[in-house]
Structure 1
Amino acid sequence: MSKIDLAAGALPRRTAVRKWLLAALTTLTVALAGTWALLPASAQAEGGFTIDGTQLIDANGNPFIMRGSTHPDVWFQNEFDSIAEMSEFGANTVRVVLGSGERNWGVSTPERVAAIVAECKAQRVICVLENHDTTGYGEQEGAASLDQSVDFWEGLYDVLAGEEEYILVNIGNEPIGNTDAAQWTDATIAAIERMRSIGFEHTLVVDAPNWGQDWQYVMRDTAPEVAAADEDANTLFSIHMYGVFTDPQSVVDYFDAFEAMGLPLIVGEYGDAFGDQPVPWDTIQAEAEARGIGWIAWSYSGNSDSRLDQVLNFDPAQITGWGERVFHSENGVANTAERASVFGEDPDDPTTPDDPTTPDDPTTEPPEGDCTAEIAIVSDWGSGWQANVSVTADQDALSGWTLNWTWPGNQTVQSHWNTELSSSGASVTAGDVGWNGSIASGQTREVFGFIGTGTAAAPQVTCVGS
């Protein structure tokens, strides 16, 4: 949906696909779903999210089930706090609306996208980034094609490369309207192939045609062919459930179809109503919970039809009835969402056991240990750059650490995640946040990251452990 159309979505790109496999698709469409699901791990992207049958798997090898909402960033760039607010409600996923410039709502620049990625990581939520300009292509005047959308993603490659643990790329929102919906299959395959040829190793999310609702079943019927076209076997299908899905049985039947094919599916958007038609949101949530299917509700705030707002005026204190259903219902976010394991233990989780050693207990206080640390620059887009910081316990195990460094020039830290960080002039001090302080003897652990300004630099770091 968009703030005008009430529809948002995602799009896929291209990777090099084996020609013999494409030829086999004419006779093995359904069978290929099983073949794709059984591809060895070496054929799948490493270091980030992957697909195993119907399940999305995180970088640590653990299943990850999306539970979250949507932040309409390209339309409301002054509402950046929404990501933190959704995380506070318990969301483990935030879908972020971007723009590639074909429509009138603006362009999401590399600098803006880098800031979004950093904020999602700081708030411990997985980001699903989507290009909204593709919405209704072929029917909506001015909409971008999937190929144009891949151009947009190519311009963001330097920002997103290396973020496969934290980011999924939703290639284009609702990329085909109701006019010639069958074009979706070839366009989506081409987009996936091209994305892979560019070098994207992320999980790619592809939205259905028919404005995301697939009422002609193009995505459902050709999903095995599209899945087989991804040389990384790492494509996730997304259905949007609104007016086409007013009958609970229609939800069950669609979920059943993908389950039978052994292909991964999420509900990339849904509401509790579409105009005056009720949508069986409770069936969507209950069936998704029973089957391990992820969902992302539309949308946090800012809709032209406020009935789709989960909070009014981007104010979390003004939660709506729809917001209550998303965040607080029996199968809603608060009761079913689990953080991605790449973020480690949740420091705010009351079930996380306390450290048995305390500063007030001299008999159990851990010994002070030696440590070293290193800043590694992982991306540089000219006006900004991203670095990850690792700590090594050289001798004794660590239960905490403090780092200090001095910038060689005019560098600053614009934003950071998983650390308590402060600056005074060129001097920077960073410390652990509890859950990431423990490092075994001889172990090296990547502990936090930051976005820097100025010329990218990796100065020598002093590490003090405890």
Structure 2
Amino acid sequence: MRKRLALSTLLAVLATMLVLVQPAQAAVGLRVSGTRVVEANGTPFVMRGVNHAHVWYPSQTSSFAAIKSYGANTVRVVLGSGQRWGPTSAGEVANVISLCKQSRLICVLEVHDTTGFGEEAAAASLDQAAGYWISVASALAGQENHVVINLGNEPFGNNQQVSATWATATSNAIVRLRNAGLDHLIMADAPMWGQDWQNIMRDNASTVFNADPDRNTVFSVHMYGVYDTAAEINAYFDAFRTAGLPLVVGEFGHNHSDGNPDEDTIMAQAQARGLGYIGWSWSGNSGGVEYLDMVTGFNPNSLTPWGERILNGANGIRQTSREATIYGGGGGDTEPPTTPGTPVASNVTATSVTLNWAASTDNTGVAGYDVYRATGASGGTFALVGSPTTNTFTATGLAAATTYRFSVRARDAVPNVSASSGALTVTTASGGGGGACRVTYSATNWGGSNGFTANVTVTNTGSSALDGWTLDFAYAAGQRVIPPGWGAVWSQSAGGDVSAVNLDWNARLAPNASTGIGFTGTYNGSNPAPTSFTINGNACTTG
């Protein structure tokens, strides 16, 4: 006869079996579900974001709100672990997380010191990066709904022998973080400067994923010159879909020194497949890749061609981003802001005009505005010229004695978009207003740094008053203006052309009157002074 187990014994056996099949820990907050990233409530979250170089520009804290103003739902923040940059302290990490949350952004925190390990002699190892994350665990605790830990940026270079250790090094770093109680979604960058051109991450991602006790790792490829055809992009995306593993494009651009990436396919296929992407980068690039700045000089109203493409273009951030439900996004709010007031013009010069309008209201707060422009009083198709976060904007680069029409729309954080305001018709000045001018320029370089302070004095040497002025000049050695500066509204084009538009208090310069303005900036190598200046299109004397 077969023996019958007592009910209590049977229950004990079943309980033991259940324990054996449970994962070591349960993922909390943002987490992996198949090939997708989902929030704690199970809603899919598709990253649409921007990289921001915080560790090199820690004072540019307004960038978080500015990035959000274009509809982004994610910001990837560059930190330092102390081997090459930083270290970014736990207090500063906590402040960065707070800035992300204030702007309703998911915060991907990355350590940049690991870049190119095995090829770059100064680079940190992933084990050192893991040590850093553990050292700032106090700032990360409880932030699983809002924070993704990106282990280390591009953690191996092109040294094949070293890059081949990617799976082991990445797995070990993840296990260290889990053992330290960090159960956040972890992002693992590919080797070979992030581009995985020999498919080391692609072929070994499952090993790393299974080494994670939480099974809560998403993989990140950086798509630059290696991914210059649709076939290469689709093949890489297909491989992760076939493997059933989650993937994001953690960095990409529209151009690069190693080739011309196919950004159109990257963005279109990411949208079609539900994959996240995070473009590089908001502002502050140097070393010959300044064209990867999305805005000039951290000025959200000065979009570059790359910024226009990724933020406002087809399959771009504004068009496809959806805010995380942890902030109330995901379709819950469908109410658009009220229609902004018709713009009112002030400080009209030959090349610029300042616009102000009655602010919109919204049930959850207005995130920003879109200013549109058309040439000709009869109308025509409006072109987007700026995206301010407040109800004022200075349109620059206008032609003298030309009629323009301006209209404004408001958008909230979802984003829901309002109807267009009434249109303002304004004609710029004919130029020359005020006659002759003199500009005195001086720059003081900061010791042991690549920064400088520029002081500029504008003098009206004509016989009549100068009512409204715009100062224009150009840098020849790649110097960059860091707004906001003082005494004027400063902006700079991707090519180096600088403009300064008067403020209300110094718009009028009587004959022989002067005003002092200036800014801080950055340079690489040399910092020669500009050779020529114009006011309202008129050449000025110098000195």
Report the TM-score when normalising by structure 2.
0.56
Q: Is the 8 A contact 2:324 2:330 kept in 1?
A: no
- Partners of 2:269 and 2:295 lie apart in 1 by 25
Partner amino acid, structure 2, of 1:342: I
Pairwise mapping of residues 60-459 of structure 1 onto structure 2 (< 5 A)? 60-103=41-84, 105-179=85-159, 180=161, 181-275=163-257, 277-304=259-286, 305-345=289-329, 351=335
Q: Is the 8 A contact 2:151 2:186 kept in 1?
A: yes
Say if 2:35 is the partner of 1:49.
Answer: no
Partner amino acid, structure 2, of 1:337: S
- Partners of 2:104 and 2:200 lie apart in 1 by 35
Query: CA, structure 1 residues 270+166, in 2 after alignment: closer, same or farther (shift >3 Å)?
Result: same
Query: CA, structure 1 residues 220+154, in 2 after alignment: closer, same or farther (shift >3 Å)?
Result: same
Query: CA, structure 1 residues 46+163, in 2 after alignment: closer, same or farther (shift >3 Å)?
Result: same
Q: Is the 8 A contact 2:48 2:321 kept in 1?
A: yes
Q: Is the 8 A contact 1:300 1:309 kept in 2?
A: yes
Q: Is the 8 A contact 2:119 2:157 kept in 1?
A: yes
- Partners of 1:325 and 1:331 lie apart in 2 by 9
Deviation (angstroms), 1:66 = 0.1
Q: Is the 8 A contact 1:94 1:296 kept in 2?
A: yes
The structure where strand makes up a greater share of residues is 2
Deviation (angstroms), 1:351 = 3.1
Question: How many pairs were matched up?
Answer: 319
Partner amino acid, structure 2, of 1:82: S
C-alpha distance after superposition, 1:367-413 (max 9, x if no partner): xxxxxxxxxxxxxxxxxxxxxxxxxxxxxxxx99xxxxxxxxxxxxx
- Partners of 1:292 and 1:314 lie apart in 2 by 30
Deviation (angstroms), 1:277 = 2.6
Deviation (angstroms), 1:344 = 1.4
Q: Is the 8 A contact 1:306 1:312 kept in 2?
A: no
**Residue segments in structure 2 that go unaligned for 5+ positions in a row:** 1-19, 339-362, 365-413, 415-543
Q: Is the 8 A contact 1:43 1:233 kept in 2?
A: no
**Kindly, what percent of the aligned residue pairs are identical?**
48
C-alpha distance after superposition, 1:94-149 (max 9, x if no partner): 0000001101x322111111000001001000000000000001110111000000
Q: Is the 8 A contact 2:185 2:217 kept in 1?
A: yes
Partner amino acid, structure 1, of 2:283: S
Q: Is the 8 A contact 1:102 1:143 kept in 2?
A: yes
Instruction: Give the equivalent residue in structure 1 for 2:356.
Output: none
Q: Is the 8 A contact 1:346 1:352 kept in 2?
A: no
- Partners of 1:46 and 1:347 lie apart in 2 by 25
- Partners of 2:314 and 2:221 lie apart in 1 by 22
Q: Is the 8 A contact 1:207 1:238 kept in 2?
A: yes
Q: Is the 8 A contact 1:134 1:174 kept in 2?
A: yes
Deviation (angstroms), 1:248 = 1.6
- Partners of 1:296 and 1:194 lie apart in 2 by 26
- Partners of 1:345 and 1:194 lie apart in 2 by 33
User: Secondary structure in 1 aligned to 2:271?
Assistant: helix
4+ residue segments displaced more than 2 Å: 39-47, 345-354
Q: Is the 8 A contact 2:23 2:213 kept in 1?
A: no
Instruction: Give the equivalent residue in structure 2 for 1:406.
Output: none
Deviation (angstroms), 1:211 = 0.5
Specify the structure having the higher radius of gyration (Cα): 2
Shifted more, 342-351 versus 47-56: the winner is 342-351
- Partners of 1:64 and 1:346 lie apart in 2 by 9
- Partners of 2:140 and 2:316 lie apart in 1 by 30
C-alpha distance after superposition, 1:256-278 (max 9, x if no partner): 00000000000000001112732
Partner amino acid, structure 1, of 2:73: N
- Partners of 1:315 and 1:93 lie apart in 2 by 19
Q: Is the 8 A contact 2:30 2:184 kept in 1?
A: yes
The structure where helix makes up a greater share of residues is 1
Partner amino acid, structure 1, of 2:195: Q
Partner amino acid, structure 2, of 1:206: A
User: Secondary structure in 2 aligned to 1:70?
Assistant: strand
**Residue segments in structure 1 that go unaligned for 5+ positions in a row:** 1-38, 355-398, 401-434, 436-466
Partner amino acid, structure 1, of 2:135: G
- Partners of 2:314 and 2:33 lie apart in 1 by 28
Shifted more, 201-210 versus 106-115: the winner is 106-115
Instruction: Give the equivalent residue in structure 2 for 1:14.
Output: none
Report the TM-score when normalising by structure 1.
0.65
